[in-house]
């Protein structure tokens, strides 16, 4: 990989949907927190990736203490999260130069394999803005105040992370003002007129946000 590569790992959640006191990214998955599984996935690549970790300001000391107690040694930049995901990524982009590749990834998606990540970086090098997507298998309905109606699920996909971009695209996109329509990094970049390319995601690349997700993750971990 010729370009410098960065991974902005967004671990800004509070864990409210988990119903516990511990933020979801710090819940144990096997013998280590979910977040550490995620970070180690990027550290396993055959080329160096610079880690930028975004955590809520209230959890900075928690992470620092954990890092010290576990005698972790990987280099990373620690960034405080913002009031929305947009603001969190914007804060992280202060540490990214132009001419790089940047993967923005959910801290609670620990099952990103080495081959999957490397293929995404390679594709993003060529296409500039690449996001993984999986086909929807459930029936879908559109619902509003007037009721609901079925829609063609073949025309919809479910979007995952990491979403990988040439850094100049992200730097430009995150210079603009926040818009509630920004649901992910792709929507921020796309608002500047950049074409987004979809690539095949992985069904095991789940996002752990609810208690049942953690149960599923424990099962996945056995064979991952």
Q: Collapsing DSSP states into helix, strand and coil, what is residue 208?
A: coil
- Predicted TM-score (pTM) of the model is 0.95
Neighbouring-strand partners of residue 143: 148
* pLDDT band at residue 17 under the 50/70/90 scheme: low
Q: What is the mean pLDDT of the chain?
A: 95
| Structural domains of the chain ordered from first start | 5-131+160-223 (3.90.550.10)
Whole-angstrom distance, CA of residue 50 vs CA of residue 217? 26
More confident residue, 169 or 223: 169
Copy the structure tokens of residue 46: 């055959």
pLDDT confidence of residue 1: 72
Mean pLDDT across 177-186? 96
Write out the E strands in the chain. Answer: 5-10, 28-29, 32-33, 49-55, 76-80, 101-106, 129-135, 140-144, 147-151, 157-159, 163-166, 197-200
For 25-73, what is each residue's pLDDT tens digit?
A: 999 999 999 999 999 999 999 999 999 999 999 999 999 999 999 999 9
pLDDT at 201 over 60: yes
Q: What percent of the chain has pLDDT over 70?
A: 96
Q: C-alpha distances in angstroms, 91 versus 35, 45, 82? A: 19, 25, 7
pLDDT confidence of residue 22: 82
For 124-166, what is each residue's pLDDT tens digit?
A: 999 999 999 999 999 999 999 999 999 999 999 999 999 999 9
pLDDT confidence of residue 189: 98
């Amino acid at each position: 990989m010729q370009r410098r590569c960065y991974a902005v790992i967004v671990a800004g959640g509070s864990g409210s949907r988990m119903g516990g006191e511990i933020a979801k990214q710090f819940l144990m998955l096997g013998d280590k927190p979910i977040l550490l599984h995620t970070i180690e996935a990027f550290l396993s690549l055959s080329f160096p990736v610079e880690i930028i970790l975004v955590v809520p300001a209230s959890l900075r000391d928690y992470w620092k203490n954990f890092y010290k107690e576990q005698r972790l040694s990987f280099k990373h930049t620690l960034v405080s999260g913002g009031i929305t995901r947009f603001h969190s990524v914007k804060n992280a982009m202060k540490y990214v130069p132009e001419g790089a590749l940047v993967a923005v990834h959910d801290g609670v998606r620990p099952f990103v394999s080495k081959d999957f990540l490397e293929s995404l970086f390679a594709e993003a090098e060529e296409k500039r803005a690449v996001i993984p997507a999986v086909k929807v298998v459930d029936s879908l309905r559109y619902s509003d105040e007037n009721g609901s109606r079925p829609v063609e699920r073949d025309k919809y996909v479910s979007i995952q992370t990491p979403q990988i971009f040439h850094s100049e695209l992200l730097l430009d996109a995150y210079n603009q003002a926040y818009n509630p329509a920004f649901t992910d990094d792709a929507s921020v970049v796309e608002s500047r007129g950049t074409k987004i390319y979809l690539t095949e995601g992985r069904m095991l690349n789940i996002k752990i946000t609810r208690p049942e997700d953690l149960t599923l993750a424990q099962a996945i971990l056995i064979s991952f």
